[in-house]
Amino acid sequence: MKTSAYKPNILLSRRFGFSLAEVMLCVLLSSIMFLTVVASAQTGILSMRHTDVRVYLNDQLRQGIAAFAREIVQTSPATIVAHLNITTDPSNNSVVVFQIPVDADGINDWGGAARSDVVDNNTEYTQWGAHRSLGNEDSTEALLGQWMRYSVQQNAAISDPAQRNQLVRDILLADGATVDPASPSKVIASNITRFQVTKNQERLTATLGAESRDSTQGGGTPRILRDSYSKDLILRNDVF
């Protein structure tokens, strides 16, 4: 009796596993999907960190301009008796020295009002000077005849040279040059790269620039993020 050669059932054998090619293809596709998910997650994290750095820069710029504007608009554009002096430092940043009306005597010279004013009780002229603390305009904080200075200064305690520059508010003595040792300097904004103030009669334009490093992306090369903010101001006290 003649018997036929054995022929394996291919369909039956495939029920028990995968071929090597199929296994390799699955591994390849799984790897691609995994790497795609990881790359997307990493991109999202970096984007979030970049956003955090940029928000920080915007906050520094806004609070720097706001603090400067709050005081500088109170000075006088008059040149007969100057209460404002704008120069530049070696880095081409502005150095702004100015006085504003202050209530140095704590006396109401007009009568009938509940609070005192900035008029001298004896001479009836405006009292020009500075406030020891930013935002505190009480008579106890008034420094008659003294000056305020806004300038960019380096903080040597910061290790990163690109982030050492700060916008600083100083109180100067009556000579307009010597820092008052009794009045500590105040840092207004950090990471400052540019501070420029220009004057056109009673109008000022203040521009503040800042930058920060984002070292989270890896590769040894940090990303530099930069931003700037400008504001037009009007000097409102056209008096001597």
The DSSP result for 20-33, as a single string, is: HHHHHHHHHHHHHH
Do residues 103 and 116 make contact, with C-beta atoms less than 8 angstroms apart? yes
Nearest CA-CA partner of 98 in 213, 226, 204: 204
Rounded to two decimals, what is the model's pTM? 0.73
The string of pLDDT tens digits covering residues 30-55 is 777 777 776 666 665 565 566 677 88
The string of pLDDT tens digits covering residues 118-162 is 665 555 578 899 999 888 877 788 899 999 999 999 887 877 766
